[in-house]
């Protein structure tokens, strides 16, 4: 599988480590009144979609960037790759 | 108590050799200094870098020489650059700091890497077996961090028939053997 890195172009998936659902970027605020419930959902509840899935990949054997990869779980087709850092900044994190 | 002074020693000393017309050289006098770019200070860093060395900081996936060509800078990650230059003392980080000032976080990385320079007409054949990058689309000046034979490595295309390779010093001998074996697998040496 080839991942089109936003900065470096096509790179072999063997250079990357998979982490999981990209929703992990949205870590709850521990000071929220419902922090306990939110952290339970954040840590343990995951969607398991058949089709498009946004997920975090780490370019460990490369530039050490975190990427958000949009992948079709049925075909492994990759439709979009973004820098997680930019997504997190856009979310105000 | 004796006042000992440590001096750097190349990890692969004496291992340089020819494979036909191709030469594997052990680079032993080149310092590697890491420059980390402070977050939210990228513009100031870029300005200071240009004032100190001439060009702009390297673009992603590329290297750039200083104006006097005495420093080679490698883009390593969005917030890190490596500076390579002839070592002139025990504290190469001071050489960079004297020029750049305190804009970036500077550390000496020389002892963490082995450096191998490959040159010759058949180096692509040897490297293609162990390198996952598309070397046909890797022009002079490009650099990349990748993995070769499960070992972390950095490639710099120095010339039409020349690469500089970096790999962690802790596995330097294994990295050298991987390259040597790849030459044996692709040619009659």
For B56-150, where are the E strands, in sequence order?
A: 63-65, 72-77, 80-86, 105-108, 113-119, 143-148
Q: Write down the pLDDT at residue B155.
A: 97
A15/B132 Cβ within 8 A: yes
Q: Report chain B's mean pLDDT, rounded to a whole number.
A: 94
In angstroms, the CA B151 to CA B175 distance is 7
Is the CB of residue B175 less than 8 Å from the CB of residue B167?
yes
A8/B61 Cβ within 8 A: yes
- B48-68: average pLDDT: 97
For chain B, where are the E strands, in sequence order?
A: 17-19, 22-26, 30-36, 63-65, 72-77, 80-86, 105-108, 113-119, 143-148, 151-159, 162-168
Round to the nearest angstrom and report the end-to-end CA distance of chain A: 30
- B27-53: average pLDDT: 95
Q: Write down the pLDDT at residue B8.
A: 64
B134/A14 Cβ within 8 A: no
A65/B78 Cβ within 8 A: yes
pLDDT at B138 over 90: yes
Q: What is the pLDDT of residues B88-127, one digit of tens each?
A: 888 999 999 999 999 999 999 999 999 999 999 999 999 9
Q: Please list every residue in chain B whose beta carbon sits closer than 8 Å to the beta carbon of residue A12.
A: 132-133
For testing the chain B interface, which of A64, A82, A85 should be mutated: the one with the most B CBs within 10 Å? A64
Q: Please list every residue in chain B whose beta carbon sits closer than 8 Å to the beta carbon of residue A10.
A: 134
Of A12, A14, A64, the CB nearest to B77: A64
- B11-32: average pLDDT: 94
Q: What is the ipTM of this complex?
A: 0.85
Contact partners, residue B161, CB within 8 Å, separation at least 6: B119, B120, B121, B123
Q: What residues form DSSP beta bridges with B36? A: B80, B105
Q: Where are the alpha helices (DSSP H) in B56-91?
A: none
In angstroms, the CA B4 to CA A2 distance is 51
- Find, in chain B, the residue whose alpha carbon is nearest to that of A60: B146
Q: Write down the pLDDT at residue B180.
A: 97
The pTM score is 0.91
pLDDT at B66 over 70: yes
Q: Please list every residue in chain B whose beta carbon sits closer than 8 Å to the beta carbon of residue A1.
A: none
Q: Write down the pLDDT at residue B11.
A: 84
Is the CB of residue B127 less than 8 Å from the CB of residue B163?
yes
Of B78, B132, B144, the CB nearest to A14: B132
Q: Please list every residue in chain B whose beta carbon sits closer than 8 Å to the beta carbon of residue A7.
A: 60-61, 78
Q: What residues form DSSP beta bridges with A10? A: A4
Is the CB of residue B138 less than 8 Å from the CB of residue B158?
no
Q: CA distances (Å), B76 to each of B55, B58, B72, B114, in order?
A: 17, 9, 12, 16
Contact partners, residue B17, CB within 8 Å, separation at least 6: B23, B24
Instruction: Look at residues B98, B96, B99, B75 and name the one whose alpha carbon lies nearest to residue B87.
Output: B96
In angstroms, the CA B176 to CA B26 distance is 10
Q: Which two tokens stand for residue A41?
A: 């959902």
State whether residue B89 is helix, strand or coil: coil
């Amino acid at each position: 599988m080839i991942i089109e890195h936003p900065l470096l172009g096509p790179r072999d998936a063997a250079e990357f480590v998979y982490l999981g659902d990209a929703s992990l970027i949205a870590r709850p605020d521990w000071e929220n009144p419902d922090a306990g419930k939110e952290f339970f959902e954040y840590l343990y509840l995951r969607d398991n979609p058949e089709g498009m899935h946004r997920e975090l990949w780490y370019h460990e054997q490369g530039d050490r960037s975190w990427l958000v990869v949009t992948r079709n779980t049925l075909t492994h087709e990759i439709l979009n790759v973004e820098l997680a850092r930019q997504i997190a900044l856009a979310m105000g994190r | 108590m004796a006042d000992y002074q440590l001096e750097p020693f190349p990890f692969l000393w004496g291992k340089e050799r020819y494979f036909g017309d191709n030469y594997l050289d052990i680079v032993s006098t080149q310092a590697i200094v890491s420059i980390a770019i402070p977050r939210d200070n990228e513009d100031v860093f870029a300005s200071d870098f240009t004032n100190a060395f001439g060009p702009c900081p390297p673009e992603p996936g590329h290297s750039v020489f200083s104006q006097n060509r005495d420093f080679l800078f490698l883009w390593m990650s969005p917030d890190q650059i490596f500076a390579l230059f002839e070592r002139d003392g025990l504290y190469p980080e001071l050489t960079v700091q004297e020029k750049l000032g305190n804009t970036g976080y500077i550390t000496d990385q020389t002892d963490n890497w082995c450096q191998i320079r490959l040159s010759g007409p058949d180096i692509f054949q040897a490297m293609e077996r162990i390198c996952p990058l598309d070397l046909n689309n890797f022009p002079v000046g490009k650099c990349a961090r990748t993995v070769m034979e499960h070992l972390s490595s950095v490639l710099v295309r120095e010339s039409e028939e020349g690469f500089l390779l970096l790999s962690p010093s802790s596995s330097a001998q294994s990295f050298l053997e991987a390259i040597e074996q790849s030459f044996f697998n692709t040619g009659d040496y």
